Structure 1
């Protein structure tokens, strides 16, 4: 166990201190900062600091009080009342206000509002006036009714047998496993690339011949896989933290409703599939790294394992529209595609328990089987640095000879 720990620590610390890893980790916060900056700039371009005026000919705003806006929180705009349209137009011509809102006498019948402006008014002014009108119309209602009118209704479509349901506000529940799968593919390719490079380099420069004099091939393999696995998980964790910060920032800027909570069961199933998925791909990468003779060949062969992980995105429409058909079921059970498909199915439909359990068993079984094959390949090919290892040789009892 101590030797595995030494290999693990060496692999982990060596990778996290490289410029490539630091750049890859910092790419997410830089992307978050850039996205938030673009969002702020976009909002700023649509706002004006000038106040807006209004003329109420309908009497709707006679006794109303201006409440804090519930829309954009950047560029608060004051609303100035005018008794005559001509007075407001003079203020607009003198650039004292950015727009003049006129509420006609028949506003309650048709909801029409006339806007006088030299240039299109800022979104902050329009949103401010909209909130003012809405708060005035429900001024006599309770806070519960006010909030319900402002937030609207959440329509949930549910199938007759109860196997599928989707709500208008469930977008994040569907988007979460979708994005998690993408992040998984990116991270596993990065950490798998590290693992491939490490094995091929040590095999080519014959460092492995020295290492195995003090450690068994199995211990070396486990230490390398766990080390690079934790490198990928570290990167994933840091990215998720910055993504959460970015989401909170965007929510503060656009002031949209909080995202729906992800259930503990969904997170548990996601972890139960992603963790063996990491182990499976890492073991397969190890198998490839030991079996081939150079890095270019290793990268070509490894595509056989990484391309199937992208397949669920090719059939995303079918998965979302028909989560119960045979194609979706196969994609959610097959180990290399289950990481993306199963969490996505669970977010929109009720998946039979036997399929969830079968997917988990196959994932863990494949991960363990890949580890066994990788260990055998490690033992067979660790000293054959100039020879390619035939795959069938891994299943022979005399493979160590």
Structure 2
């Protein structure tokens, strides 16, 4: 047992501080951060904080109510009333406003409005003006009815037996299985290299004979196998903590993440499927790596183990539309495709 732990600790510490492993560990968070920055920069470039004008001929906005509060990260856009189109057009040409809306005399009957702009206004400005008009349309109704109409619908999808349900508050439960499958594929692809080389390296540099003279084959294989599997789980744990950190930061400023209702018990089935699946594939790769003569040959065989994991995503549409089909049953039974299916 002492020799086993020595092999395990030496192999784990040797691999975890390698530049190749650290690069793979940090590359995924770095790519995600870059993608988030690109999205935020794109949104910031499209946001236009110039005011929006409006001309009301229907009498709806003669004594307007204050518009609803704007959720972060949007910024309030000014709403400027104009008496005629000449003044609004002059403000538009001078760049004081980004667009103006004209509510006709029959707006309350037809619901038709006209927008005039040099280029399409920002989506935030248009949505804020719509909320402003909607608030004034509902001003004459009782508070409870007005609030109910403003909130909109609340759809709840419930299974036939009532054991499971999904609503707008826990929408992330739909995405978690998809992201879990993708995480499993990324983890296997990222760790396949050092999993296959667990024993190949000792074979190539002729140190396996030295190891075999001081420890039994069982101790060597179990120590190395657990070290490589722990290495892969370390990578997954680091990525999971990074993802949870992003969700925590997003919940502070984005309303979308504040509505997430995630129970730890909902993650338990995923962990019970994910961890054994990763350990199984990792063990198969280590076994293959122990039988080949060099790393190049092992990489060719590793493709046969990773290809079935991607297979369910090729048939994602028929699997989602017909989960009771023979294809779904077959992929759910086969060990290498069952976790993702």
Give the structure-1-normalised TM-score.
0.75
Matches within 5 A, 1:1-400: 1-61=1-61, 62-70=63-71, 73-139=73-139, 148-155=148-155, 172-246=172-246, 255-256=255-256, 258=258, 260-341=260-341
- Change in 2 beyond 3 A, CA 1:93/1:148: same
Whether the 8 Å contact between 2:170 and 2:261 is mirrored in structure 1 is no
Q: Distance in 2 between matches of 1:112 and 1:257?
A: 34
Shift of 1:336: 0.9
Whether the 8 Å contact between 2:198 and 2:290 is mirrored in structure 1 is no
Q: Distance in 2 between matches of 1:139 and 1:10?
A: 72
SS for the counterpart of 1:9 is helix
Q: Which moved more, 1:132-141 or 1:300-309?
A: 132-141
Between the two proteins, the alignment pairs up a number of residues equal to: 340
Q: Unpaired segments of 5 or more residues in structure 2?
A: none
Q: Which moved more, 1:154-163 or 1:13-22?
A: 154-163
Q: Which moved more, 1:150-159 or 1:97-106?
A: 150-159
- Change in 2 beyond 3 A, CA 1:91/1:230: same
Give the structure-2-normalised TM-score.
0.86
Whether the 8 Å contact between 2:192 and 2:302 is mirrored in structure 1 is no
Shift of 1:55: 2.1
Q: Distance in 2 between matches of 1:151 and 1:206?
A: 70
The superposition leaves residues 321-361 of structure 1 with CA deviations (integer Å, 9 ceiling, x where unpaired) of 111223212322322112111xxxxxxxxxxxxxxxxxxxx
Q: Which moved more, 1:130-139 or 1:272-281?
A: 130-139
Q: Distance in 1 between matches of 2:242 and 2:139?
A: 40
SS for the counterpart of 2:59 is coil
- Change in 2 beyond 3 A, CA 1:257/1:302: closer
Whether the 8 Å contact between 2:52 and 2:77 is mirrored in structure 1 is yes
Whether the 8 Å contact between 1:16 and 1:22 is mirrored in structure 2 is yes
Which residue does 1:365 correspond to in 2? none
Shift of 1:73: 2.5
- CA RMSD across the alignment: 3.0
Shift of 1:129: 0.8
- Change in 2 beyond 3 A, CA 1:226/1:251: same
Whether the 8 Å contact between 1:46 and 1:124 is mirrored in structure 2 is no
Whether the 8 Å contact between 2:50 and 2:77 is mirrored in structure 1 is yes
- Change in 2 beyond 3 A, CA 1:26/1:276: same
Whether the 8 Å contact between 1:36 and 1:249 is mirrored in structure 2 is no
Q: Distance in 2 between matches of 1:39 and 1:147?
A: 33
Q: Distance in 1 between matches of 2:151 and 2:313?
A: 33
Whether the 8 Å contact between 1:308 and 1:336 is mirrored in structure 2 is yes
Q: Distance in 2 between matches of 1:323 and 1:250?
A: 34
- Change in 2 beyond 3 A, CA 1:144/1:225: farther
Q: Unpaired segments of 5 or more residues in structure 1?
A: 342-401
- Change in 2 beyond 3 A, CA 1:27/1:52: same
Q: Which moved more, 1:200-209 or 1:155-164?
A: 155-164
Which residue does 1:371 correspond to in 2? none
Whether the 8 Å contact between 1:48 and 1:75 is mirrored in structure 2 is no
The superposition leaves residues 27-70 of structure 1 with CA deviations (integer Å, 9 ceiling, x where unpaired) of 22222222222222222232223212222222333231123224
Whether the 8 Å contact between 1:32 and 1:243 is mirrored in structure 2 is no
Q: Distance in 2 between matches of 1:213 and 1:134?
A: 81
SS for the counterpart of 2:340 is helix
Q: Distance in 2 between matches of 1:144 and 1:277?
A: 51
Q: Distance in 2 between matches of 1:144 and 1:251?
A: 28
Shift of 1:254: 7.0
Whether the 8 Å contact between 1:309 and 1:337 is mirrored in structure 2 is yes
SS for the counterpart of 1:336 is coil
Shift of 1:320: 0.5
- Change in 2 beyond 3 A, CA 1:114/1:278: same
Shift of 1:273: 1.5
